[in-house]
Amino acid sequence: MNTRISKTFEALFALEDIREVLRGALPTGPDADEEAALKEGVARVRAILDDLEAGTGNAQQSKIAGILDVRSREEEYINIQPIQAAGRLTPEARKALIAYGDGYSTCDACRKPFRLDKIQKPPIASFHEDLAKFVNMDVARVVPGARRGFQAVASSLVNKGDPVIVSALSHYTEFLAVEGAGGIVREVPLSPKNLMEPDSAAEKIEEVIKSDGKTPALMMIDHVDYQFANIHDIKGLAKVAHQYDIPFLCNGAYTVGVMPVDGKALGADFVVGSGHKSMASPAPSGVLATTDEWAGKVFRTTAMTGDVTNRKFGIKEVEMLGCTLMGGTLMAMMASFPAVRERTARFEEEVKKSNAFIEGLLEIEGTKVLSEYPRKHTLSKVDTTGSFDKVAQVHKRRGFFLSDELTKRGIAGEFAGATRAWKLNTYGLSWEKINYLTRAFQEIAEKYEIPVNKGYIQN
């Protein structure tokens, strides 16, 4: 087990132990010996600090239990796992997780009107305002994952049998949200470049109005899709939706938190983001933001009254089931937020690094990029059927040979054994790591006599 994360955890565990001592330190009762209690408290704190120095404390026991070891790869490896990159926690989020690990810890100061987004201390209410501003919408709520955002919108807007327009690259959770609401998905086909074109969306809407006999209740499109990570013309698509009076949801699971997203400029009625995918937050977390026009519908409060007790819970929002994220999940999301907001301004640099790596990969003969190229995002789909997979065909480890070679070089996150068409993400890697990564792939190619037409990597 390695250095930085391990040390952080050890220190945090020690801090918790010290807190525990402090909690029990005050002697109670008439015969309490304050001096003895103080001495014992000091001795126990000293022992905890000695353990910390020697590496034999609580954190050590957790390591033995294997809790920390399994996640050491973030520290020891360059991780190119496609869906984790921008969800990795900041150190601030890690601390918040520990401090607010207890389930309802965010509710200590929950006062009237009893609802999560109204809590002032910690500043959850202002975080909601910040989130709405962040995506330039009027109102926002935290939700347990982007999928719960789709669900809240679909459940509010879609009735039984209503068609809903989605992309042919839409995420499965959008299908489920529509199905849960009783709607039917209608997919807009892709252009030859795997893009969603506004004209195709208009054609599909016309077709659906004819075939289903009604105007679609909602259009949901992925800003960046999960298959190719291509950027789609959200503004053009939203414009088409509005020409037919169809509300438009922008699925920003791969954009909110990594690049600037201006919901109003895009013409979105709803913007959904994923905390654990793109906002350096723990799972499940996400955001659903909307305009004043739609907030009353999607964030409607309960009108129900108990028939026996006459109870009412008026302030609670139906789609949010009252309150959503609690404890460590929300506090860690909040702790990461300043860094997340700031990093979106550096997305261009991330894209440059992504292109530099892909360029290096394309120098390996037979390798293709299936995503739009040059890249506009850090997630990319590559096809190595004509390069590494040729080696896999004859290697005794078959498709696992590439993973073996990458592991040896400290690279993790590819799907072991999948060496044909696969996805990777370079988000957050330094230039140094990008160059190392590129060199590593080229070295492996050369080792197995796959020609490399070098140009990008000079040293």
Ligand X SMILES: Cc1ncc(COP(=O)(O)O)c(C=O)c1O
The site for ligand X (CB under 6 A) is made up of 145-147, 171, 173, 222, 226, 251, 253-254, 274, 276-277, 286
Q: Are 188 and 196 in contact (CB under 8 A)?
A: yes
Q: Are 239 and 267 in contact (CB under 8 A)?
A: yes
Q: Which is nearer to ligand X, 179 or 203 (CB)?
A: 179
Is 341 annotated in a binding site? The answer is no
Which residue's entry shows tokens 């709803």? 270
Q: Which is nearer to ligand X, 6 or 425 (CB)?
A: 425
Q: Which is nearer to ligand X, 94 or 277 (CB)?
A: 277
Q: Which is nearer to ligand X, 162 or 174 (CB)?
A: 174
Q: Which is nearer to ligand X, 216 or 273 (CB)?
A: 273
To the nearest whole angstrom, how small is the minimum distance from the Cβ of residue 61 to ligand X? 32
In the three-class reduction of DSSP (H, G, I as helix; E, B as strand; rest coil), residue 105 is classed as helix
Q: DSSP letter at 244? A: T
Rounded distance between C-alpha atoms, residue 55 and residue 3, angstroms: 11
To the nearest whole angstrom, how small is the minimum distance from the Cβ of residue 84 to ligand X? 11
To the nearest whole angstrom, how small is the minimum distance from the Cβ of residue 86 to ligand X? 11
Q: ∠ CA 332-123-326 to the nearest 5 degrees?
A: 45
Is 146 annotated in a binding site? The answer is yes
To the nearest whole angstrom, how small is the minimum distance from the Cβ of residue 295 to ligand X? 21
Is 23 annotated in a binding site? The answer is no
Rounded distance between C-alpha atoms, residue 343 and residue 210, angstroms: 45
Q: Which is nearer to ligand X, 204 or 277 (CB)?
A: 277
Rounded distance between C-alpha atoms, residue 51 and residue 308, angstroms: 58
Q: DSSP letter at 294? A: H
Which residue's entry shows tokens 């500043």? 123
Rounded distance between C-alpha atoms, residue 266 and residue 240, angstroms: 12
Q: Kindly list the distances between the CA atom of residue 174 and the CA atoms of 134, 162, 170, 209, in Å, as whole numbers in the listed order.
A: 23, 14, 7, 21
To the nearest whole angstrom, how small is the minimum distance from the Cβ of residue 227 to ligand X? 9
* Token reading at 40: 């014992």
To the nearest whole angstrom, how small is the minimum distance from the Cβ of residue 229 to ligand X? 9
* Token reading at 52: 């910390």
* Token reading at 362: 């394309």
Rounded distance between C-alpha atoms, residue 326 and residue 103, angstroms: 6
Rounded distance between C-alpha atoms, residue 403 and residue 158, angstroms: 45
Is 403 annotated in a binding site? The answer is no
Q: Of 287, 254, 294, 283, nearest to 272 (Cα)?
A: 287
Q: Which is nearer to ligand X, 375 or 433 (CB)?
A: 375
Is 251 annotated in a binding site? The answer is yes
To the nearest whole angstrom, how small is the minimum distance from the Cβ of residue 170 to ligand X? 8
To the nearest whole angstrom, how small is the minimum distance from the Cβ of residue 267 to ligand X? 19
* Token reading at 234: 């959200």
Is 377 annotated in a binding site? The answer is no
In the three-class reduction of DSSP (H, G, I as helix; E, B as strand; rest coil), residue 148 is classed as helix
Q: Which is nearer to ligand X, 57 or 263 (CB)?
A: 263
> What residues form the annotated binding site?
146-147, 251, 274-276
> What residues form the annotated binding site for pyridoxal 5'-phosphate?
146-147, 251, 274-276
